[in-house]
Amino acid sequence: MTSIPAPNLVTHPKSSDARGAVSLPVMQGVDSPPRGRTPRTIHYLRLSLTRGCSMRCTYCRPEFDFGADPPALDRGDLVFLVGHLHGRFGLRKLRLTGGEPTTRRDLPEIVDAVAGLGVKDVAMTTNGLTLTRQARTLHNAGLRRVNVSVDTLDAHRFTALTGVDGVDRVLAGIDAALAAGLAVKLNAVVVRGQNEVDLMALLRYAASMNLTLRLIELMPMGPLASAWGRRYVSEAQMRNQLERDGVRRFVPLPGQSHRSDAARLYRAELDDGGTATVGFITPMSEHFCDDCDRLRLTADGEVYPCLMDAPRGNVTDAVRRRDPGAIDAVLNDAYGQKADAHPPTGPAIMTHLGG
């Protein structure tokens, strides 16, 4: 850790107009936050398997983003790299993401291989569209947990948000995942004017399924950052909306850490006498960078120390050469650039990096 004084990072959007629109967060005082950590361990890798996605969510994938080139790292490369991280840095947790990871044809083989290496916790983030077909195969291959992104249950708004008339398929996919033995969490990014009216229906659904719903603050990413100010909904605004729509009280759950879950979890007591578990992921109103030990890697070998930072190296050459020393040099350098607070906007397209 460096001793550079902490910057005055304004991640709390302070100025909002009557409709709640906010301006982009700004960094004041210094050009970048302090950096510098040494990866004695890299316990948690988020691995984006492809840039390709079967959806086009308005807040995630820019209109000009078409299709996907074959990823630079093939299955053998990925498995070698994960094996190296496991052996050298004690990798315990691997989350497969995308793009949409289920669009990668060799996904079951990748899961099988990385689970076979002894990585304890192999999880995936998915839009859920094809889980009815794939859940059992993936569970048999060694996948244990899925986070399913579902931003609304309203069929019309789902189609408008994602570009796919598929909410029923996603819900069937959740049923299939549970039936296959996968642990499931629900993720929803809350976007002003698109789904903030749907939070209570999502929470009641989560309660009925006995699942945790995690509501995520929108991050200003890549070319879509310019729309962030009018789309962003803070945790406080989400809670107000839920309280208007049927939550009587939020009771914090004890014993939480951002290392085990990025969300701050509550038991929500509902007006019908039921309860639900809801989490808020608050990268913008209250970041949790201090507790972040994640490293992110794209299918093209780019290493990101932070979701909202620039890539800080590329392991493709080193991995193709099966050169552990060269891989370590890239990873050490990238991990060493982890900052105490994330930059105000992220340069990456989320569809490529994986959320």
> Residue of minimal CB distance from ligand SAM?
355
What whole-number distance in Å separates Cα of residue 197 and Cα of residue 135?
A: 30
Binding residues among 212-271 for ligand SAM as defined by CB under 6 A: 216, 218-219, 221
Q: Please report how close the Cβ of residue 208 comes to ligand SAM at its closest, in angstroms.
A: 21
Q: Is 316 in the site for ligand SAM (CB under 6 A)?
A: no
Q: Which stretch binds ligand SAM (CB under 6 A): 29-37, 93-101, 253-261, 314-322?
A: 93-101
Q: Is 71 in the site for ligand SAM (CB under 6 A)?
A: no
C-alpha closest to that of 269 among 247, 291, 242, 302: 247
DSSP β-ladder status, 275-281 and 264-270: antiparallel
Helix (H, G, I), strand (E, B) or coil at 242: helix
Q: Is 292 in the site for ligand SAM (CB under 6 A)?
A: no
Q: Is 166 in the site for ligand SAM (CB under 6 A)?
A: no
Q: Is 152 in the site for ligand SAM (CB under 6 A)?
A: no
Binds ligand SAM (CB under 6 A): choice among 11, 50, 125, 345: 125
Binds ligand SAM (CB under 6 A): choice among 50, 91, 93, 100: 100
What whole-number distance in Å separates Cα of residue 203 and Cα of residue 199?
A: 6
Binds ligand SAM (CB under 6 A): choice among 130, 187, 241, 345: 187
Q: Which stretch binds ligand SAM (CB under 6 A): 2-10, 119-127, 138-146, 289-297?
A: 119-127
Helix (H, G, I), strand (E, B) or coil at 93: strand
What whole-number distance in Å separates Cα of residue 62 and Cα of residue 345?
A: 16
Q: Is 351 in the site for ligand SAM (CB under 6 A)?
A: yes
Q: Which whole-number Å values give the CA distances from 58 to 63, 195, 213, 272, in the listed order?
A: 8, 12, 21, 33
Q: Please report how close the Cβ of residue 307 comes to ligand SAM at its closest, in angstroms.
A: 8
Q: Which stretch binds ligand SAM (CB under 6 A): 29-37, 87-95, 123-131, 332-340?
A: 123-131
Helix (H, G, I), strand (E, B) or coil at 120: coil
Binds ligand SAM (CB under 6 A): choice among 44, 59, 232, 280: 59
Binding residues among 202-221 for ligand SAM as defined by CB under 6 A: 216, 218-219, 221
Q: Is 50 in the site for ligand SAM (CB under 6 A)?
A: no
What whole-number distance in Å separates Cα of residue 84 and Cα of residue 91?
A: 9
Q: Which stretch binds ligand SAM (CB under 6 A): 1-9, 34-42, 138-146, 346-354?
A: 346-354
Q: Which whole-number Å values give the CA distances from 5 to 115, 127, 211, 318, in the listed order?
A: 42, 40, 41, 35
What whole-number distance in Å separates Cα of residue 352 and Cα of residue 97?
A: 9
Q: Is 149 in the site for ligand SAM (CB under 6 A)?
A: yes
Q: Is 60 in the site for ligand SAM (CB under 6 A)?
A: yes
Our CB check for ligand SAM shows the closer of 295 and 318 to be 295
Residue type, 36: G
Q: Please report how close the Cβ of residue 264 comes to ligand SAM at its closest, in angstroms.
A: 16
Our CB check for ligand SAM shows the closer of 306 and 327 to be 306
- For the chain, the first-to-last Cα distance in angstroms comes to 26
Our CB check for ligand SAM shows the closer of 39 and 229 to be 229
Q: Which whole-number Å values give the CA distances from 109 to 112, 113, 139, 249, 347, in the listed order?
A: 5, 6, 12, 45, 32
φ, ψ for residue 112, nearest 5 deg: -60, -45
Q: CB under 8 Å to 20, separation ≥6 — which residues?
A: 192, 233, 237
Q: Interface with ligand SAM by CB under 6 A: which residues?
A: 53, 59-60, 97-98, 100, 125-127, 149, 187, 189, 216, 218-219, 221, 350-351, 354-355
